[in-house]
Amino acid sequence: MELKTIAHFHSPFTSKFGIPKQSGLVEQLPGTITFEPRYRERNALRGIEEFDYLWLLWHFSANRHAATSLMVRPPLLGGNERVGVFASRSPFRPNGIGLSSVRLDHVEWDTPSGPVIHVRGADLMDGTPIFDIKPYIAYADCHPGARSGFVDSHALRRLKVEIAPELACRFNSSQLAALVKTLELDPRPHYQNDPGKVYGMPYDGRDIHFTVQGGTLTVIDIDTIAKT
């Protein structure tokens, strides 16, 4: 079977660094889906606005190396414990296919690129190829009380985020809210914990510089990324 790219995702993240590890963790994160010319048909989306959530099937296109092991080290386990690749959502898989549930915000029907879908809460990098879009159906897709393996015994850790007013004012309120929620998830690689290290995260056309000490992340500077 040949998988065809039907669309591309556009988000504030131009690199993998900082992207939430799962969809829905930062509900405010905006994103858009722009279709390839062959699929820019209004009829292909007829009825889609009657759904609140969508499933996206997409390609881990930023992975430069093929998976070499059937065991992985989930970041939630600190990168120290191994589990089977099929018992995880690791991006390093035999087939680099991702699955994300996103909230449908609205459809912009008339643009130069055809219909454009606006969503929130995605965990995709800018430019990610999308293979398919399916509606989320509550009675089939929601299983209250279901076990979630190692996730159940490892609480999601969130940091306190501090941004000085003179830096925070460079974003509008919705951009700032999404940025703060993203930084709360601790964008650093799981194996790094150097309080003196300054990290840089590209986000929405800016480079966010920050440090982490204890449970507090402090943004120390924000630069505009020069366009090339």
Structure tokens at 145: 């009380």
119: domain CATH number is 2.40.30.70
Residues 131 and 212 in one domain: no
Same domain, 75 and 117: yes
Residue 31: its pLDDT value, please?
Answer: 97
Give me the pLDDT at residue 222, please: 94
Q: Is 155 a domain residue?
A: no
Same domain (yes/no): 130, 170: no
State the Cα–Cα distance between residues 211 and 188, nearest whole angstrom. 10
Position 154 in a domain: no
**For the whole model, what pTM was predicted?**
0.91
Q: Are residues 66 and 165 in the same domain?
A: no
Single residue among 82, 109, 141 that ends a domain in this structure: 141
Task: Tell me, yes or no, whether 102 and 136 share the same domain.
Answer: yes
Q: What is the predicted pLDDT for the residue at 227?
A: 65
For residue 133, is it within any domain?
A: yes
Within-domain flag for 147: no
Per-residue pLDDT, 194: 83
Question: In this structure, are 23 and 127 located in the same domain?
Answer: yes
40, 113 Cβ separation under 8 angstroms: yes
User: Residues 115, 190: one domain?
Assistant: no
Residues 58, 128: contact at Cβ < 8 Å?
A: yes
Return the number of other C-beta atoms located less than 10 Å from residue 207's C-beta. 14
Q: Same domain, yes or no, for 184 and 113?
A: no
Whether 118 and 204 map to the same domain: the answer is no
Residues 137 and 175 in one domain: no
Whether residue 186 contacts residue 212, with contact meaning beta carbons closer than 8 Å, is answered with yes
Domain edge (last residue) among 107, 141, 175 = 141
Please indicate, yes or no, if residue 148 is contained in any of the structural domains. no
Tokens of 93: 């898989």
Q: What is the pLDDT of residue 226?
A: 61
In angstroms, the CA 11 to CA 35 distance is: 15
From 113, 141, 169, give the residue that closes a domain: 141
Residue 17 identity (one-letter amino acid): F
Domain limits for position 182: 160-224
Cα–Cα nearest to 189, from 96, 91, 78: 78
- CATH number reported for the structural domain that contains residue 194 in this entry: 3.30.2310.20
Long-range pairs, 190-195, Cβ under 8 A, ≥24: 190/75, 190/78, 190/79, 191/79
Question: Which residues, 6+ apart, have CB-to-CB distance to 110 below 8 Å?
Answer: none
For residues 26 and 136, membership in a common domain is answered with yes
pLDDT for res 67 = 76
In a domain, 31, yes or no: yes
Number of domains within the chain: 2
Does some domain include residue 134? Answer: yes
Average pLDDT per 10 consecutive residues for the chain, totaling 228 residues: 94 93 94 97 96 97 82 83 91 92 97 97 97 97 93 88 94 94 91 86 94 95 77
Is 195 found in the same domain as 101? Answer: no
